[in-house]
Amino acid sequence: MLYLHALRAARMRQLRARAFRPLARRRFPDREPPGKASPIPAARELWASPAFEGSSPLDASTRLGRFHRQYGDDVLAAARAGDLEETRRLVATWIEAHPPHDGDAWHPYPLSTRVGNWVAALTLLPELASPELSRSLWRQLERLRVNVEDNVLGNHVIRNVRALVLGGTSFGAADLTRRGIELLRRELPEQVLRDGGHYERSPSYHLVVLRDLLEIQAASPHSWLAEAIERMRSFAAALARPDGAPALFNDGTVDAPRLDLPEAPEGLSVFGDSGFVVVREGPLWLAFRCGVPAPDFLPAHAHADALSFQLWWRGRPVLVDPGTFTYEPGAERDWFRSTRAHSTVCVDGRDQFRLWGAFRSGPLPKVNLRYARERAVEASVVLPGRVRHVRRIEWADDEVWVYDQLEGNGRHHVESRLILAPHPPELAIALLSHGEMTTERTWISERFGERAETLAKVVDAELELPAQLGFRIMLAG
């Protein structure tokens, strides 16, 4: 039944691409490049900026870690440092070690990332140009041309577009650039929502997509792309935590690109299409998850975290998202995506929707933002078992109130959690309903492969519905 749901939810172009993928992955066109790869001076400043600072390599025993080792980040890092000999050595070593083969090195996503990074390195160090570099880049682009990731869609296709446009611009291959721009025109109206959020609803991946679009715009400017970028920049600024990192809803880490963003707006910011409400009032920062988890056809990065929220006070974290520890299938991946790992309500021990495999989930629940007004926001989610959870959050001065209404019939096992930061500022939490609050140990992860133990405040009760729960959070002045 789960596979049947996935089949029904998939887009036709996803199904078509999946059907032909076994054949497409065997294709390695080997035509001579139309010329030599050249720098793209218009993007030089961007590639030299903090937006492309490197991060620590991930565990090579994971698929994501193996992908990262094919991204060409080391080549770009050496070029950013001005080390021509090391950059040449890294490129030559990769070419020699990775002849065309249907594996991680020539998978469309790492390939797309590497092509963009090599073109960036060539721009920062024009002396890097060589016939070998041009031949390898062109063969990778030819491989990508017939392996665009329509089977996945989402940020993967944007990364493919980035490679096609940068590669086409570097080689002066207008047909390749045009292919990338045509894909972007198809994808952008759907992927970038009206409120500026990316449709996968991950503030971290939002920054990854935005950086790709900034590169594309530098190489091939378009007014319609510039407008989408400005909306995305405003969204990214609003969803940034007080420390500048993205709020970690859905999959993502704090190692997202550091981009030049506008000032975050004060007061109440409502992103109804994306499903987020953000409050910035004096020392208070609060982000509320109040929309659909992801598109039905692309739930790979969705967490079962509807109506969860994150809270900071005077620049310090109070309540946090569990983050993302791994993409490897198994118990750890399941836990960090689960409802019980987040600051929300879990009924009968069931997640808000089924999570299966590393990147599958669904059917997704209906989530509705009821209202957002001065010092109050309310939203609802329909849970399994014909239970509706309605959460209202209010705030004033140094207090936050959380009111939970559970609508339905019968007796149910209800758990409500608040996930505390490892070292929160001074605070007190009281119940706004009958019951007992306990403390349990849990985990959070702000970077892949790294986790920290923390505490959660929990109300665990057998309740006859309808029923009410709630917390009063008192912060130190």
Q: What does the chain come to in residues?
A: 477
CA angle 193, 52, 40 (to 5 degrees): 90
Map residue 334 onto helix, strand or coil.
Answer: helix
Sign of CA dihedral 253, 257, 263, 268: negative
Sequence letter at residue 142: E
What tokens appear for 404 in the block?
A: 């939970």
Dig out the tokens for 444 from the structure: 């959070």
Strand order in the sheet with 467-475: 367-373, 376-383, 387-396, 399-407, 467-475, 427-431
Strand residue runs (E) in 209-283 = 267-271, 276-281
Burial zone of 130 (CB within 10 Å; 0-12 exposed, 13-18 middle, 19+ buried) = middle
Q: Tell me which H or E stretch contains 209.
A: helix 203-219
Query: Torsions phi, psi of 421, nearest 5?
Result: -65, 155
Give the C-alpha separation, 92 to 254, whole Å. 32
354 by Cβ neighbours in 10 Å (0-12 / 13-18 / 19+) ranks as middle
- What distance in Å separates the CA atoms of residue 355 and residue 351, rounded to the nearest whole number? 8
Q: What is the pLDDT of residue 172?
A: 97
Domain boundaries, the chain: 11-191, 267-475
3-state secondary structure labels for all residues of 111-154: HHHHHHHHHHHHHHCHHHCCHHHHHHHHHHHHHHHCCCCCCCCC
**Fold that domain 267-475 belongs to in CATH:** Beta-galactosidase; Chain A, domain 5 (2.70.98)
Per-residue pLDDT in tens (0 to 9) along the chain, 477 residues: 777 777 788 889 999 999 998 899 999 999 999 999 999 999 999 999 999 998 777 888 899 999 999 999 999 999 999 999 999 999 999 999 999 999 999 999 999 999 999 999 999 999 999 999 999 999 999 999 999 999 999 999 999 999 999 999 999 999 999 999 999 999 999 999 999 999 999 999 999 999 999 999 999 999 999 999 999 999 999 999 999 999 999 999 999 999 999 999 999 999 999 999 999 999 999 999 999 999 999 999 999 999 999 999 999 999 999 999 999 999 999 999 999 999 999 999 999 999 988 888 889 999 999 999 999 999 999 999 899 999 999 999 999 999 999 999 999 999 999 999 999 999 999 999 878 999 999 999 999 999 999 999 999 999 999 999 999 999 986
Q: What is the pLDDT of residue 357?
A: 87
What's the helix, strand, coil split of the chain in %, to 5?
35, 25, 40
How confident is the model at residue 477, as a pLDDT?
A: 64
- Residue 444 has phi, psi (to 5 degrees) of -130, 155
Reported pTM: 0.96
* CA separation, residue 97 to residues 68, 73, 93, 106 (Å): 16, 16, 6, 12
Distance linking the first and last C-alpha atoms of the chain: 52
> What is the side-by-side order of every strand in the sheet holding 437-447?
345-347, 411-419, 450-464, 437-447
DSSP string, 414-444: EEEEEEB-SSPPSEEEEESSSS-EEEEEEEE
- Residue 439, token pair as written in the block: 């403390």
> CA 277 to CA 280: how far, in whole Å?
10
